[in-house]
């Protein structure tokens, strides 16, 4: 017997279907609610509303579980690399050797950007935030690959654009960094892996090639893997809502990059390091930081703490925290900000304010420590998040396109403005 929920409005009873997900999650299907009851639901920030059916990532916020296509994030972090994880997210299964070779070859072949695009960088001030450059450049890619805007673009052509985007995002990101420090933009190297190539484009200089440090490459793979997807977060939902208008993949991802930039979302990793640096430089006691974070009269928040879904540890934060110790000691780095971060976590998790609200460190709390250790400047941290999240955005865009029933996403609202008001000529106001 199909499960239903009963709703009583003005004494009349309505039955609404109850949907059960593959992990037992329950939802009330309100698809016909307005049609049968004349009512809509209202749920600002979609705290309790699902926007779609998806088979890409699963999060259990209460248990601190994250799986990509069913594979636990811990196993991917331990055994996989970013390219393989990207394939898993986009195509729904771990690649065979042949599939992975073809995917890697495509990423290598598409790593260079059109020479004309390099001119764009000359128009930006050196102080331009790299997220402003990244969002604009990704949107501009549709000008160079116009088949994405065609209604009869084929699946193969779309696959090629997904690989192009995944590959070129590194080149664009590294170029924005080189531009900001006044160094020449470097071409990618075909002999390097995905992550090593990015590090080469970021840190090599014409007179001194980048010496691949396998510990750094491994750390970068780990960071990108844990950022690769996270169900309907703000930026992924943005990609889907823009894609639902049948906008092309470059335009949709460009919108996602803008959404990610916000300090409550992907911009938090930059805010965390700036917060830890201020604590360090001004020798602010951790007790005062925790007190300020609790103070409702203060706008200060403990950046990198709290999450809309995780009401237990963010499994990604646990993975990154464990990696910080291992990677920094291997690199012979002692970062005082890591000590402060650990002290802050310990103090907050003992404080009833954080415990009652189930505020734990999220993915952004420790990621910046690792980026710093690699030499990535703070204003590039959110760009690193975007590079990591790109396979997830592409996977969701692809999933949306494959849904024959997908409609343009257009929420309703409850109007609270003036009732009927007639125009009054200015001399009578």
Whole-angstrom distance, CA of residue 368 vs CA of residue 320: 10
Rounded to a whole number of angstroms, the minimum distance from the CB of residue 356 to ligand SDX is 9
Rounded to a whole number of angstroms, the minimum distance from the CB of residue 112 to ligand SDX is 29
Give the chain's length. Answer: 429
The smaller minimum CB distance to ligand SDX, of residues 18 and 264, is found at: 264
Rounded to a whole number of angstroms, the minimum distance from the CB of residue 428 to ligand SDX is 45
Whole-angstrom distance, CA of residue 266 vs CA of residue 361: 14
Helix (H) or strand (E) holding 5: strand 4-9
The smaller minimum CB distance to ligand SDX, of residues 141 and 260, is found at: 260
Rounded to a whole number of angstroms, the minimum distance from the CB of residue 367 to ligand SDX is 10
Rounded to a whole number of angstroms, the minimum distance from the CB of residue 56 to ligand SDX is 13
Query: Is the sign of the CA dihedral 106, 111, 113, 114 positive or negative?
Result: negative
The smaller minimum CB distance to ligand SDX, of residues 142 and 362, is found at: 362
Q: Which residues contact 64 (CB under 8 A, 6 or more apart)?
A: 310, 312, 313, 314, 315, 318
**What's the start-to-end Cα distance of the chain, in Å?**
63
The active-site residue out of 110, 314, 364, 396 is: 364
| Residue 396 annotated as catalytic | no
Whole-angstrom distance, CA of residue 5 vs CA of residue 16: 5
Edge to edge, the sheet with strand 57-60 lists: 57-60, 65-68, 71-72
Rounded to a whole number of angstroms, the minimum distance from the CB of residue 203 to ligand SDX is 26
The smaller minimum CB distance to ligand SDX, of residues 100 and 301, is found at: 301
Q: Angle at the Cα of 403 (from 400 to 405), degrees rounded to 5? A: 120
| Phi/psi-derived region of residue 398, left when phi > 0, alpha when psi is between -120 and 50, beta in every other case | alpha
Strands 26-28 and 57-60: unpaired
The active-site residue out of 110, 307, 314, 396 is: 307
The smaller minimum CB distance to ligand SDX, of residues 136 and 363, is found at: 363
| Residue 351 annotated as catalytic | no
Nearest-CB residue to ligand SDX? Answer: 306
Interface with ligand SDX by CB under 6 A: which residues?
A: 230, 233, 264-266, 268, 293, 301-309, 357, 359, 362-364
The smaller minimum CB distance to ligand SDX, of residues 200 and 307, is found at: 307
Q: Which residues contact 273 (CB under 8 A, 6 or more apart)?
A: 337, 368, 369, 371, 372, 378, 381
- List, by residue number, the catalytic residues: 307, 364
């Amino acid at each position: 017997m199909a499960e239903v929920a009963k709703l009583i409005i003005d004494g009349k009873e309505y039955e609404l279907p109850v949907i059960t997900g593959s992990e037992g999650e329950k939802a009330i299907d309100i698809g016909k609610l307005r049609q049968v009851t004349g009512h809509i639901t209202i749920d600002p920030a979609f705290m309790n509303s699902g926007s779609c059916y998806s088979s890409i990532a699963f999060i259990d916020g209460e248990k601190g579980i994250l799986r990509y296509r069913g594979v636990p994030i811990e196993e991917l972090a331990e055994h996989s690399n970013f390219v393989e994880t990207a394939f898993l997210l986009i195509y729904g299964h771990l690649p065979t050797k042949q599939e992975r070779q073809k995917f890697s070859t495509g990423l290598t072949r598409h790593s260079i950007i059109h020479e004309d695009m390099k001119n764009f960088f000359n128009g930006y001030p050196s102080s331009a935030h790299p997220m402003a450059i990244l969002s604009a450049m990704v949107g501009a890619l549709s000008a160079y690959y116009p088949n994405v805007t065609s209604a009869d673009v084929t699946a193969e052509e779309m696959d090629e654009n997904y690989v192009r985007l995944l590959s070129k995002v590194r080149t664009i990101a590294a170029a924005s960094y080189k531009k900001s420090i006044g160094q020449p933009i470097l071409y990618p190297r075909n002999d390097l892996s995905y992550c090593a190539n990015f590090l080469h484009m970021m840190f090599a200089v014409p007179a001194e090639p980048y010496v691949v440090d396998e510990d750094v490459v491994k750390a970068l793979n780990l960071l990108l893997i844990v950022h690769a997807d996270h169900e309907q977060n703000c930026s992924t939902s943005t990609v889907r809502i823009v894609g639902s208008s049948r906008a092309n993949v470059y335009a949709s991802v460009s919108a996602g990059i803008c959404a990610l930039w916000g300090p409550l979302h992907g911009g938090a990793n930059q805010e965390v390091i700036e917060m830890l640096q201020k604590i360090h430089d001004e020798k602010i006691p951790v007790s005062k930081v925790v007190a300020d974070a609790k103070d409702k009269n203060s706008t200060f928040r403990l950046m990198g703490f709290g999450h809309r879904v995780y009401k237990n540890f963010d499994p990604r934060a646990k993975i990154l925290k464990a990696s910080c110790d291992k990677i920094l000691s291997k690199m012979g780095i002692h970062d005082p900000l890591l000590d402060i971060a650990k002290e802050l976590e310990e103090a907050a998790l003992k404080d009833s304010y954080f415990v009652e609200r189930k505020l734990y460190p999220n993915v952004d709390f420790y990621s910046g420590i690792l980026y710093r250790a690699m030499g990535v400047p703070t204003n590039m941290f959110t760009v690193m998040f975007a590079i990591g999240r790109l396979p997830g955005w592409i996977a969701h865009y692809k999933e949306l396109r494959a849904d024959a029933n997908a409609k343009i996403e257009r929420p309703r609202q409850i109007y609270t403005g003036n009732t009927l008001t007639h125009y009054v000529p200015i001399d009578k106001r």
